Amino acid sequence: MPRPIFDQIITANALLAGDVVYFTAADTWTRDMQKAEVFSDEAIAQVRLIEAMAQANVIVGAYLMPIQHTKDGHAPTHFREEVRTKGPSNYAHGKQEQSHV
């Protein structure tokens, strides 16, 4: 398979809290995007996505999301994922709230 333009990670929503989680190399889920497993190879990413989706009692709706590498670590390439990463813009709720605690 051709190498995708961007590296990718796997994201989903947690089954109970519904919040945004990322898949790690240890087959667990983390709230911290920086701890996500990063895929440069599309074929590996697809296999790992199948493994992630199999954890259907922990998460909902797993999918691959592209990332870019910045000086602060992995960052989303699309504003939708930025909103998921931070939380809404009208209140300091969601992930931005947790990072300030």
Partner 1 sequence: MYKYNDFDHAFVTSRNAQFREQVNRRISGALSEDEFKPLRLMNGLYLQLHAYMLRVAIPYGTLNSAQMRQLAMIADRWDKGYGHFTTRQNIQFNWTKLQDVPDILDALAEVEMHAIQTSGNTIRNVTADHFAGAAADEIVDPRIYAELIRQWSTDHPEFQFLPRKFKVAVTGAKQDRAVIHAHDIGLQIIEQNCILGMRVIIGGGLGRTPMIGKVIREFVAMDDILPYLESVVSVWNLLGRRDNKYKARIKITIHENGIDEFSRLVDERFALIRPSFQGFDQTLLSEFSDAFIAPKFQRFDLSAFDARYQGDPNFRSWVDTNITAHKQADYAIATISLKSHGETPGDASSAQMRRIADLAETYSYDELRISHEQNIVMPHVQKAHLPDVYDALRAIGLATGNIGLISDIIACPGMDYCALATARSIPIAQNIATHFDALKLEHDIGPLKIKISGCINACGHHHVGHIGILGLDRAGIENYQIMLGGDGTETPAIGERTGPGFGADEVIPAIERLIHFYLNERLAPSETFLECYRRLGLGPFKTALYETEQSKARANAA
**Rule CB under 8 A: which residues touch partner 1?**
13, 15-20, 56-57, 60-61, 77-80, 83-84, 87-91, 93-95
C-beta of 3 vs 93, nearer to partner 1: 93
Instruction: State how far the alpha carbon of 61 is from the alpha carbons of 32, 39, 54, 77, 78, in Å.
Output: 18, 19, 11, 19, 18
CB 43 within 8 A of CB 1: yes
Give me the least distance between CB of 38 and partner 1, in Å please: 20
C-beta of 24 vs 55, nearer to partner 1: 55
Phi, psi of 100 (to 5 degrees): -90, -10
- Give the distance, in angstroms, between the CA of residue 61 and the centroid of all CA atoms in the same chain: 11
Give me the least distance between CB of 20 and partner 1, in Å please: 7
Give me the least distance between CB of 72 and partner 1, in Å please: 20
